Amino acid sequence: MRAAVLLQYLLPHRFLSRLVMWGTRWTFAPWKNFLIERIVKAYRVDLDEAATADLAAWPHFNAFFTRALKPGARPLAAGPATTVLCPADGKVSQAGPIAAGRILQAKGQDFSVAELLADEPAAAAYADGAFLTVYLSPRDYHRVHMPLAGALVGTAHIPGRLFSVAPFAVAAVPRLFARNERLVCLFEGEHGPFAVVLVGAMLVSGIETVWGGVEVPPYALAITRRDWRGAGVHLERGAELGRFNMGSTAVVLLPTGGRFDLALAPESPVRMGQAVGQVAG
């Protein structure tokens, strides 16, 4: 395991990610069918819930990886508008209160909200709020949805490394989520602000949004901020927000008064649309 962690620092992150991006978009049928079949078998992907299980329907591997689900495959949990929904399928990496502006990454590892957002003023709203970090594995549905209804206020594409976000790396690489390339999405909901952060990772660093299309790559050299106030981008709770071209991690931040369920222990499986917390009404 030590060797695997050391490699995280030595490997050419962006070069490898570009190679994978090219390979996963190659439309040569024998190649893309081979990749799809390997992933389906290795990770026991449930194709019964996919909008189509026909290999020929996907032009390349990435189209399969970002596949849509059948209508009704992810029913949204009932409850008032203050009920927070899980944004993605996957497993809980960590969840809980934000303590003095810091987020738990793993045992002995944490980082600040300000580092994650690269924005001290925006981070102030979450200094004593709550967070949920969801890890998406290769078998999971790779679209990310809104935990609450809200209007898009701003985005920030933050440059960084592309460490793996697999559990072994999260446990060993300090401040990993605040170091990886990521897209911060800030929203204003009926009951206050909230944030969804899409974190890139080695080999799996492509990020798209429903309002802006492909956001990553290109990989950034400097922070790129966009003000979306007044643009009319409002998404309902449970609506698709974006997707990972290959998988990664989504982090949800709630402001003061927000909380996530205590049952969300590390490694707990979660599905998009299930109730995972509450915001103050």
Residues forming the active site: 89, 145, 248
- Would you call the peptide bond into 97 cis, given omega within 30 degrees of 0 as the criterion? no
- CA dist 275 and 87 (Å) reads 10
CA pseudo-torsion sign 137, 143, 148, 152: positive
Go through 154-169 and write b for each residue having 16 or more CB atoms within 10 A of its CB, e for each that does not: bbbbbebbbbbbeeeb
Give Cβ neighbours of residue 185 (< 8 Å, ≥ 6 apart): 152, 155, 195, 196, 197, 198, 209, 241, 242
Instruction: Supply 66's token pair.
Output: 């970002």
Task: Report phi then psi at 276, rounded to 5.
Answer: -125, -10
DSSP notation for 72-124: TSSPPPPS-TTEEEP-SSEEEEEEEE-BTTEEEEETTEEEEHHHHHT-HHHHG
Is residue 157 helix, strand or coil?
strand
Nearest partner of 84 among 142, 132, 37, judged by Cα: 132
Q: How far apart are CA 60 and CA 35, in angstroms?
A: 9
